[in-house]
Amino acid sequence: MCSIFQIACDGALFNRCLDCFLGKAAYLRNLPDNLVDLETELGRLIAAKNDVMMRVVNAERQQMRRLGQVEWWVSRVDAVKTGADELITDGSEEIGELCVGGYCSKNCRSSYKFGKQVAKKLQDVKALIAEGVFEAVATEVVPERAPEPVADERPIERTVVGLQSQLEQVWRCLVEESVGIIGLYGMGGVGKTTLLTHINNKFLESPTNFDCVIWVVVSKDLRLEKIQDDIGKKIGLSDDSWKNKSFEEKAVDILRSLGEKRFVLLLDDLWERVDLTKVGVPLPGPQNTTSKVVFATRFIDVCGSMEADRKFLVACLSEKDAWELFREKVGEETLQSHHDIVELAQIVAKECGGLPLALITIGRAMACKRTAEEWIHAVEVLRRSAFEFAGLGKEVYPLLKFSYDSLQNETIRSCFLYCCLYPEDYGILKWDLIDCWIGEGFLEESDRFSAENQGYYIVGTLIHACLLEGIEDDRVKMHDVVRDMALWIACEIEERRHFLVCAGAGLEQAPAVRESENVTRLSLMQNQIKILSEVPTCPDLLTLFLDFNEELEMIADGFFQFMPSLKVLKISNCGNFTFQLPLGMSKLGSLELFDISRTEIQELPEELKLLVNLKCLNLRWTSKLIRIPRQLISNSSGLRVLRMFATGYECFHEAPEDSVLFGGGEVLVQELLGLKYLEVLELTLGSYQALQIFLSSNKLKSCIRSLFLQLAGDTKSIIDAAAFADLNHLNELYIYEGIELEELKIDYTEIVRKRREPFVFRSLHRVTIFSCGKLKDVTFLVFAPNLKSLELLQCDAMEEIISVGEIAETPEMMGHISPFENLQSLHLSYLPILRSIYWKPLPFTHLKKMEVRRCDQLRRLPLDSNSATERNVVIRGYTLWWNRLQWEDEATQIAFRSCFQPRS
């Protein structure tokens, strides 16, 4: 039996089934053609993509950016290409599976699926081509300017050792403080450009509110047009039409553009003031608090002329940081290659004086030196003639020489080079240096005060140019590398100057005559020379420095006879120099300055009377000098400067009758009265009578700068301090062994009546009173507002420094005085009954050092929590004394606790 099933189908269902079968069959039948079309169309698409990318790259080089639409299309093309390549690769194998004229396959399911993928991929390729994005890219889509970075990154190795702290300080000013203009100043090679570069690059790392950072190198050849062009490039004003505009038109465009931006303008290498308003830069200020200007310069004067709100000195590195930088440049492999090299490398690093440029240059030069002998040689070269060291003469000194070349005139350049006659790290007294400049003829001497003022101006100019360093109020020094550069100029570049400098070289003998025959300036300072026996022939020699040869015992007779041009002769600070000056001094007919200060010489020869051109004689602190022949001073009719401070005071009253020091100095004063051209006088007097003769001369009073009173043999108990009121230029007063002196009296009421103002000792800077056993106070010093140094030693009867009793007698003066406003140093020693410095706390704004020794009754200092607010003061004394002090309050005691340094 069987059953017959009958299926009923309507026409619509049959047609749908037929279409489905034919459609699937089409994927198989069209597979070969579709693969060929896919490969062809894919080629077209890749060519279109390449055209697009070429246009994109060209646009980006012109500061354009690709839009997101372009980026999306390119990414789709890449994805389609990957899939199409796989299909084309597998296509041959799939075609091989087809049969029955391409309508069937040995593996129908797989071939159908593959054919469908090929057809779909072909549609995708055609769709991407049809979008025509590449045509839009070529015309309107790509040419859109990309947003520029805030700053253009500048190349730099990395953060230089020792600059991080200053970088942070400047950065705080830029992003936090209301500071508009910032100046970075310092000597050449110290790292100003490096610091400025790190500031520039930090804008790329740290988000700020600034729209743009503009970098401009100004350089010595100032051209405002170049500054405009550099600014224009950064803010998009560099097309041809803008370049053809006038200077004024460009300034207007810059002003309009920057006026709409928060900007930072970084100016590197300023040598003079730049008028930014002419350039078109809107200056930061009350009306423009959103923008900043930072500049780097070698001259602090430029900071002033640029009206900088903050100034930062970019100083040389500390010894620790200098060694770290040097070690980095040399490399550990070299440093560890020999057990002696690290120690020698530290010596070499110290010779660089913390100057980064020198440390880097020398460090790189030594990076491959791996024997101790090479390092020892390097130390010798740097100490003997540093300019011979590899790299210094080509990289370091020429950079520093720009500062020298930029000095205003030849006079200032000559004064600068003169400073290299002094040893390394030597503190040069300003007034002593100026004496030498005047003696050499660098400065005009028609008026001594004008010449000195010019000298101080030049000292200031050199400090502001970072070619000298101010180390104290009255001293300067040369940085070691700057000094080496000066020697390089004086000895190698400008041979006409003929310097021979052996200062601090450890010499035991003077250099051979043949080496010094043609020199114009010779410095043998700070050596161990004992005897100068060989007579040199130096017809052109102008300056000879023999200072600080502390072992010097003898100078041969005739030593100076072949130096006819010598103008400046210094033999100061020669400790063993107790003998007579050599014969032949009279041959120094051109000598203008003669300095034998701080020696133990006992007499001056008659020959000195023949030094007809002598203008400056320095006998300061020749404490054992007792014989100065009579008429020697008065015969020196051209003397303008005579320094006899502390001359002969140790044996003043033992002077022979033929010495002007005989008696108490009355003879000396009489001879001084005949010096027509005398302008500067430092004087030692040994009696009240001599003092009275001196004070009777308006001429001498107008000249006096320093006065030393040695009163051991005088019975005067009271000296009227008001007698010093007319000494307008007196800046140094020393009273020694006033055994009977009980009072330095001053009548305030009379002073006010005559002068109409209380301060009568305005020029007085330094006072020392030593061994005045009956003196009770120095209240007159309340009238010395500019006093900087006060020393009181061995005054057994002194109870108060400023007497409250004397002040109370004249209450009207109370509103006028605030003593010790400018005091920097206070030294109190062996004052056994001293109870008070002042009866109430004082500001002591400028006090740096207070030393108290053997003042056991001094239980209170005139300090409170508002005194010396910077806490830079150092207080030295014995611990037992310090622990017994009574304080204004606990806050004051805590505030000054860290200032104490115990004496051993």
SS (HEC) of 318-366:
CHHHHHHHHHHHHCHHHHCCCCCHHHHHHHHHHHCCCCHHHHHHHHHHC
Note the pLDDT of residue 579: 67
Going by C-beta distance under 8 Å and a sequence separation of 6 or more, which residues neighbour residue 88? 35, 38, 39, 42
Confidence of residue 14 (pLDDT cuts 50, 70, 90): very low
Q: How many CB atoms lie within 10 A of CB 457?
A: 12
Following DSSP, what letter does each residue of 82-133 receive, concatenated?
A: HHHHHHHHHHHHHHHTEEGGGTEETTHHHHHHHHHHHHHHHHHHHHHHHH-H
pTM, two decimal places: 0.77
pLDDT digits (tens, 9 = 90+) for 835-873: 999 999 999 999 999 999 999 999 999 999 889 888 889
Confirm if 684 and 691 have CB atoms less than 8 A apart: no
Q: Which of 206, 208, 207, 191 is nearest to 156 (CA)?
A: 191
pLDDT digits (tens, 9 = 90+) for 633-645: 999 999 999 999 9
Note the pLDDT of residue 15: 41
Per the prediction, the chain carries an average pLDDT of 85
Lowest mean pLDDT among 234-248, 586-600, 724-738, 831-845: 234-248
Residue 624: DSSP 8-state: T
SS3 603: strand
For residue 735, give both structure tokens.
């009273």
Taking CA atoms, 356 is separated from 185, 774, 892, in Å, by 15, 58, 42
Cα distance between residue 860 and residue 880, in whole Å = 14
For residue 495, give both structure tokens.
């041979």
pLDDT digits (tens, 9 = 90+) for 759-775: 678 899 999 999 999 99
Going by C-beta distance under 8 Å and a sequence separation of 6 or more, which residues neighbour residue 167? 159, 195, 198, 199, 202
CA dihedral 673, 677, 679, 683 (to 10 degrees): -40
Lowest mean pLDDT among 85-99, 402-416, 491-505, 623-637: 85-99
Taking CA atoms, 172 is separated from 29, 195, 264, 901, in Å, by 76, 14, 14, 35
The long-range contacts involving 488-492, CB below 8 angstroms and separated by at least 24 positions, are 488/386, 488/387, 488/392, 488/393, 488/397, 489/397, 489/401, 489/404, 489/417, 490/417, 490/420, 491/387, 492/387, 492/393
Span between the terminal Cα atoms of the chain, in Å: 136
SS3 616: strand
Taking 60 as the threshold, does the pLDDT of residue 243 lie above it?
A: yes
pLDDT digits (tens, 9 = 90+) for 482-508: 898 898 888 877 666 788 999 988 899
Confidence of residue 137 (pLDDT cuts 50, 70, 90): very low
Note the pLDDT of residue 473: 81
Confirm if 621 and 598 have CB atoms less than 8 A apart: yes
Going by C-beta distance under 8 Å and a sequence separation of 6 or more, which residues neighbour residue 852? 828, 829, 858, 875, 876, 877, 881
Instruction: Judge residue 670's burial from the number of C-beta atoms within 10 Å of its C-beta, 0-12 exposed, 13-18 middle, 19 or more buried.
Output: middle
Q: Which of 746, 764, 863, 760 is nearest to 806 (CA)?
A: 746
Residue bearing the bigger pLDDT, 740 or 144: 740
Lowest mean pLDDT among 98-112, 146-160, 787-801, 821-835: 98-112
Place of tokens 């050199």: 462
Confirm if 693 and 720 have CB atoms less than 8 A apart: no
pLDDT digits (tens, 9 = 90+) for 447-457: 899 999 999 99
Note the pLDDT of residue 16: 43
